Amino acid sequence: MDIVPSETLSPPQCDDDACSCDSSEIDEQNHFFDVIQAFSTYIACSMKRVIKYEQDSRKMSSFGKTHFEQIFIDRIASLKQKIAINQEFLSFIIQPQLQTMDQSQFELASEWNASKVRSTLSQFMREWSSEGQDERNQYTPLFLSTLERYLPISETRQPSVLIPGCGLGRLCFDVAQRGYRVEGNEFSYFMLLGSSAVLNRLLVADNHKKDQPNITEGTDEQDTDDESTWTIYPFVSQFNNNTSFENQVRPVVIPDTHIDSFPPDWAMSMSAGEFCQVYDEQPSSFDCVIFHFFIDTAHDIAEYITTVSTTLKPGGIFMIYGPLLYHYGDMETEYSVDYTFDDVKHLLRTSHFELLDESVHQCTYCADPRSLMKTVYSAHFILAKKKI
């Protein structure tokens, strides 16, 4: 059972000899190639920063060299080793796609795409490791308790939940484990590829048949007896605000949970594509829609709310949680309508929604809990009900 359908992990195909693809399909193919290239060249991109670290350490004062010259040499060796291990995991993620691509055409990824790969490693820490549990506890219990209060499961009812911008799928998994029918939606190939690896290939014990190197925590040796987990180093490229070098290179094991098999009543799926384009044509399809750190990814939040109003059943609930970062706000080539949260509530009231609850929660996002610096958001939670 594939939760993330394989057809979502490749762009529209084109026959170069008789190409009938339009420009958007060609752009999609090129973008997909760039994403795979970024995963594949992670090690080379990351080594550029290590080389600078090494070169700068050679300029250390004589006093510094007396105490730290050999220590930095050892640290550089450790950084290179951990980056190489991360590359093994990233290559595992894209292994199915690499089989159909000409890797000789790969070049170093752009810094933008390289940063997306590093963010993907951080996202794995947040969603699928025990180290991310505290951060998940900032929002998951709130969603689950709200679902159980307003949409309880019964013998005759299994409410459906849509989670757009679901990232690597952990919230979908946690909601599905409570017995709800869950559909995740994701636009980013970085997230789709990562979620496919964990949900389709790592999560279920029956899938653990292929060779998947695992690095035993606290060592640099592969654990060949346990092929169900990977050890990654999501903080290895974080050179600022470290309390210690050990924290920078500490291992994180993923995933932190497994299931023997999907139960018979398991109902979880993933769709790929832009939220409005996918769900504008699916009226009255879901009992609940959850926006978690998602509402500000819109060019115009009003379009998102219109789509939610369309795809949500009468009497269904809509949960919003997060800040308003406005992903397109600082992009000169994109437009962004920057509403306030009061504006968002007005849009809801005028779109057939009744506001049931509102609260503010202090939270972080992909934060290193041991860092000297972290961003703390005052995330607004809004619970609304679509009028009957």
State the pLDDT at residue 227: 53
In a domain, 226, yes or no: yes
Report d(CA 298, CA 383) in Å as an integer. 19
Mean pLDDT throughout 106-133? 97
Q: Is residue 85 domain-resident?
A: no
Average pLDDT (258-278) is 87
User: Does residue 38 fall inside a structural domain?
Assistant: no
pLDDT digits (tens, 9 = 90+) for 359-374: 999 999 999 999 999 9
Asked if 252 and 234 count as a contact pair (C-beta separation under 8 A), the reply is: yes
Determine the Cα–Cα distance for residues 186 and 166; give it in Å rounded to an integer: 6
220: pLDDT strictly greater than 70: no
Query: Where is pLDDT greater, at 366 or 15?
Result: 366
| Residue 69 falls in which region: left (phi positive, over 0), alpha (psi -120 to 50) or beta | alpha
**For the chain, what is the largest distance between any 2 Cα atoms, rounded to a whole number of angstroms?**
75
pLDDT at 258 over 90: no
Structure confidence at residue 27 (pLDDT): 87
Per-residue pLDDT, averaged over 152-165, amounts to: 95
Nearest to 140 by CA among 119, 126, 160: 126
| % of the chain exceeding 90 in pLDDT | 79
**More confident position, 181 or 208:** 181
Domain presence at residue 337: yes
Whether residue 20 is predicted with pLDDT greater than 70 in this model: the reply is no
Q: Give strand ranges (E) for 248-311.
A: 252-254, 268-272, 286-292
Residue 80 has what pLDDT?
98
Q: What pLDDT is stored for residue 209 in this prediction?
A: 44
For the stretch 285-342, pLDDT in tens is 999 999 999 999 999 999 999 999 999 999 999 999 999 999 999 999 999 999 999 9
Range of the domain at 338: 114-386
CATH number for the domain spanning 271: value is 3.40.50.150
pTM exceeds cut of 0.95: no
Does residue 96 fall inside a structural domain? no
pLDDT for res 166: 98
pLDDT of residue 1: 61
Q: At residue 163, what are phi and psi to the nearest 5 degrees?
A: -125, 95
The SS3 of residue 215 is: strand
**Does any domain span residue 284?**
yes
Is 208 a domain residue? yes
The total of structural domains in the chain comes to 1
Residue 109 has pLDDT above 70, yes or no: yes
Q: What is the mean pLDDT of residues 120-143?
A: 98
Please compute, for residue 237, the number of CA atoms within 13 A of its CA located in the half-sphere on the CB side: 23
Strands (E), the chain: 160-164, 181-186, 230-232, 252-254, 268-272, 286-292, 312-322, 353-363, 377-386
User: What does the mean pLDDT of the chain come to?
Assistant: 91
Q: Is 60 exceeded by the pLDDT of residue 10?
A: yes
Considering the domain boundaries, does residue 101 fall inside one? no
Q: Which pLDDT score, from 0 to 100, does residue 206 have?
A: 57
**CA 228-117-233 angle, 5° bins:** 50
On the question of a cis peptide bond just before residue 96, with omega within 30 degrees of 0, the verdict is no
